[in-house]
Structure 1
Amino acid sequence: MDNVYDKAHELAKVLKSYPEVSEYREASEKIKNNADAQKIIEDFRKIQFEAYNEQMEKKQLSEDTKKKFENISNIISMNQDVAQFLTAEQKFSIIWQDIIKILTDSIGLDLNFGMK
């Protein structure tokens, strides 16, 4: 029987060579050394979280939240490192979610159980 940890290391090795992973790693390094960029991302995440909660509670976004999104989007578009980081993060996220779905489907787990 194969050792699951050995297989996980094999997967990590394959992932490490993916362009999306390399882009994400490089973008993360740029952000790590830039306090202004980190603050922009932190602000973006806060607004994103607020919008999610508002959407869940009220089923729509307020004008204030829409304005916050518009403002932070403008700030992000003016900061190439932040824009690249968020794009790279999104690409990596898609790959990661696909891998998790493949694994959970293959072993018969429903991670959404009880959440519907």
Structure 2
Amino acid sequence: MANPYDKARELATELKGSEEFTKLSDLHAKVNEDEVAKRMLDNFRNVQLGLQEKQMQGQEITEEEVQEAQKQFELVQQHEVISQLMEEEQRMSQLVGEINKIITEPLEDLYGVNEG
């Protein structure tokens, strides 16, 4: 019988060798090599994290905070490499989501999630 942990490690190795991961890794390195791009992306992610933390704590997010987040997003989208990185992150997230759906199918079947 196959060990699920061994299969998970095998899948992780496959993911790491995938074209999607390679592109993501290359773009991540390019951003980190560019001090301005790295700072821009770090600022954007810090704004995102701050808003997520407020939401998780049940605090209301102000219109000013929403506008600041939108401004930061528009700023990073104008940087070509950051924009490419974010697109590739989205593709990787979609890939992992699809894999997760496949992995959890037996549980969904067991509990009848797909019925109805």
With structure 2 as the length reference, what TM-score do the two structures score? Answer: 0.69
1:91-112 CA deviation, whole Å, 9 max, x = no partner? 212222333443355468xxxx
- Note the C-alpha offset of 1:45: 1.2
Runs of 4+ residues deviating >6 angstroms: none
Whole-Å Cα distance in 1 between the matches of residues 103 and 26 of structure 2?
Answer: 27
Provide the secondary structure at the position in 2 that maps to 1:2: coil
Please, what TM-score do these two structures have when normalized by structure 1? Answer: 0.69
Aligned length: 107
Cα shift readout 1:35-90 (whole Å, capped 9, x = no counterpart)? 2222112111111112223334235x312211211221221122111111112112
Corresponding position: 1:26 with 2:37 = no
Distance 2:53 2:14 in 1: 36
AA aligned opposite 1:67 = Q
Q: Structure 1: where are the runs of 5+ without partners?
A: 109-116
RMSD of aligned C-alpha atoms? Answer: 2.6
Give the match for residue 42 of structure 1.
42
Query: Residue type of the partner of 2:26?
Result: E
SS at match of 2:2: coil
Please name the residue that 1:54 is paired with: 54
- The whole-number CA distance in structure 1 between the counterparts of 2:85 and 2:106 is 31
Identity of aligned residues (%): 26
